[in-house]
């Protein structure tokens, strides 16, 4: 260990209680900040998951007018050349075709507006793990003539497995669409909102119901690495020309992106306040350490220590305090948040009701994204670096003769 590091380390423990209090303030700051960030990011991840994993996928190809009109008339014809063109991009993992529209669903006495989704059961399951959400009955097979309906919808219509659901809608180019279908299974959709209104059928049955043979409203494009979404989107967009358009999940759900951004900004302000308090705590300690040792610094410079070396020792001391606090905070927050991620906090009462009304599961979810942790460490490190300017400034500005008489 170099002498400067040794002096810095030992100086830290000259006043153990003060050092430990400062370290504790950083520890709790990092812990609280990581906890808060994890909870925020966990909620966002869940929201994004609900949209991306259980519904929209990373990107979707539509007819260029579809997103505006949401009409079955603005669908496009499924064709191999389109699929091959998309799959030719290395980053694309797989495609899921869908036909999506609205209908009225009726049981004996009750009727409700529903979202009808025509799917290819196996590819759909690959994205949404829909099969595992079947609560009763069975999942659809490729040639199935039956339906899967959301649990909330089944409860509302008072229907169960093997009961019949009647659907009425308007098909392609105004053709009447009507049919009755057996319910094969009841699913619990991750989105409480969709749980109350979703009806799945196989793609051919759906195309037949809407009189839109071989037509799709969307082709969900899944990529291998979601971090490369924007790059992949740019490449695909360059390749897909009229009458197609391709949209990312962010473009399809701008209100959610905005909600996340504004919520994140609120969190940043909270954390900034927390870190400002911690920063002044560290600064106070460093100022005390310098004030108490002015004569000692004077002696060190008098006997031949260059001021920059003295500043280096003080810099090490500042960094040591920051590192001990930040590392201990991380060491505790990692297992704590791992536990919380496995055991999300259930919400009850009105809070739970409110979450469900907005279409979310009534839980506080936690994220284990590495950024939750390293952002805190980086923030403390940057604060420490900023504070370390004070001792550097102080050492350079010290009047030797005054310091020796301090």
Partner 1 sequence: MTIISINNLFKTYKDSEIEVHAVNGIDLSIDEGEFTAIVGPSGSGKTTLLNMLGGLDQPSSGTIRIDQTELAQLKSSQLIDFRMKNIGFVFQSYNLIPVLTAKENVEFVMHLQGRPKKEREERTMQLLEAVGLKGRENSRPAKLSGGQQQRVAVARALASKPRFVLADEPTANLDSKSTENLLNIMEELNRQEKITFIFSTHDQRVVNKAHRVITLEDGKIINDNRKNS
C-alpha 4/C-alpha 318 separation (Å) is 13
Q: Which of 219/300 has CB closer to partner 1?
A: 300
Q: Does 300 bind partner 1 (CB under 8 A)?
A: yes
C-alpha 260/C-alpha 7 separation (Å) is 47
* Whether 333 contacts 29, CB under 8 Å: no
Q: Which of 127/398 has CB closer to partner 1?
A: 398
* Whether 56 contacts 253, CB under 8 Å: yes
Which of these segments, 4-12, 38-46, 168-176, 345-353, binds partner 1 (CB under 8 A)?
4-12
Which of these segments, 10-18, 177-185, 254-262, 364-372, binds partner 1 (CB under 8 A)?
10-18
Angle at 233 between CA 228 and CA 239, to 5 degrees: 135
Per-residue tokens: 249: 């999940």
Q: Does 3 bind partner 1 (CB under 8 A)?
A: yes
Q: Does 7 bind partner 1 (CB under 8 A)?
A: yes
Helix (H) or strand (E) holding 190: none
Q: What is the nearest approach in angstroms of partner 1 to the Cβ of residue 283?
A: 22
C-alpha 361/C-alpha 214 separation (Å) is 35
Q: Which of 6/264 has CB closer to partner 1?
A: 6
Which of these segments, 78-86, 143-151, 359-367, 396-404, binds partner 1 (CB under 8 A)?
396-404
Three-state secondary-structure class, residue 99: strand
Report how far apart the first and last C-alpha atoms of the chain are (Å, whole number).
Answer: 30
C-alpha 135/C-alpha 258 separation (Å) is 34
Site for partner 1 in 168-227 (CB under 8 A): none
Q: What is the nearest approach in angstroms of partner 1 to the Cβ of residue 403?
A: 10
CB-hemisphere CA count at 13 Å for 397? 7
Of 240, 283, 299, 392, the residue at the interface with partner 1 (CB under 8 A) is 299
Q: Which of 51/310 has CB closer to partner 1?
A: 310
* Whether 167 contacts 209, CB under 8 Å: yes
Q: Does 11 bind partner 1 (CB under 8 A)?
A: yes
Q: Which of 301/314 has CB closer to partner 1?
A: 301
Which of these segments, 34-42, 155-163, 323-331, 397-405, binds partner 1 (CB under 8 A)?
397-405
Q: What is the nearest approach in angstroms of partner 1 to the Cβ of residue 228?
A: 52
Q: What is the nearest approach in angstroms of partner 1 to the Cβ of residue 300?
A: 7
C-alpha 178/C-alpha 169 separation (Å) is 6
Site for partner 1 in 301-330 (CB under 8 A): 301-307, 309
Per-residue tokens: 180: 């009755």
Q: Which of 239/292 has CB closer to partner 1?
A: 292
For 50, which DSSP code?
H
Contact residues for partner 1, defined by CB under 8 A: 3, 6-7, 10-11, 14, 295-296, 299-307, 309, 400-401, 404
């Amino acid at each position: 260990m170099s002498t400067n590091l040794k002096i810095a380390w030992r100086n830290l423990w000259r006043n153990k209680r003060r050092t430990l209090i400062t370290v504790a303030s950083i520890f709790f700051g990092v812990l609280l900040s990581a906890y808060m960030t994890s909870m925020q990011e966990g909620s966002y991840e869940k929201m994004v998951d609900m949209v991306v994993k259980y519904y929209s996928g990373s990107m979707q190809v539509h007819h260029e007018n579809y997103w505006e009109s949401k009409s079955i008339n603005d669908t496009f014809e499924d064709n191999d050349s389109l699929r091959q063109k998309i799959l030719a991009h290395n980053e694309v993992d797989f495609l899921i075709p869908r036909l999506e529209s609205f209908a009225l669903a009726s049981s004996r006495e009750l009727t409700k507006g529903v979202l009808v989704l025509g799917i290819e059961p196996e590819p759909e399951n690959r994205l949404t793990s829909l099969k595992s959400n079947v609560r009763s009955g069975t999942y659809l097979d490729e040639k199935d003539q039956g339906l899967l309906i959301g649990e909330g919808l089944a409860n509302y219509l008072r229907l169960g497995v093997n009961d019949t659901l009647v659907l009425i809608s308007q098909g392609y180019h105004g053709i009447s669409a009507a049919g009755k279908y057996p319910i094969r299974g009841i699913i619990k959709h991750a989105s409480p909102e969709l749980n109350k209104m979703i009806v799945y059928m196989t793609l051919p049955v759906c195309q037949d119901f809407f009189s839109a043979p071989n037509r799709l409203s969307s082709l969900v494009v899944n990529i291998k690495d979601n971090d490369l979404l924007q790059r992949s989107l740019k490449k695909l967009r360059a390749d897909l020309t009229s009458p197609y358009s391709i949209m990312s999940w962010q473009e399809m759900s701008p209100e959610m992106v905005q909600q996340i951004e504004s919520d994140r900004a609120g969190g940043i302000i909270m954390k900034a306040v927390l870190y400002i308090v911690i920063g002044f705590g560290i600064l106070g300690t460093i100022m005390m350490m310098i004030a108490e040792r002015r004569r000692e610094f004077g002696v060190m410079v008098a006997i031949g220590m260059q001021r920059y070396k003295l500043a280096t020792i003080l810099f090490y001391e500042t960094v040591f305090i920051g590192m001990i606090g930040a590392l201990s905070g991380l060491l505790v927050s990692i297992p704590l948040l791992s536990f919380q991620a496995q055991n999300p906090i259930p919400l009850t009462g009105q809070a739970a009701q409110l979450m469900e009304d907005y279409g979310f599961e009534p839980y506080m979810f936690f994220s284990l994204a590495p950024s939750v942790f390293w952002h805190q460490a980086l923030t403390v490190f940057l604060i420490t670096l900023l504070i370390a300017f004070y001792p550097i400034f102080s050492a350079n500005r010290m009047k030797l003769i005054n310091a020796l008489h301090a």
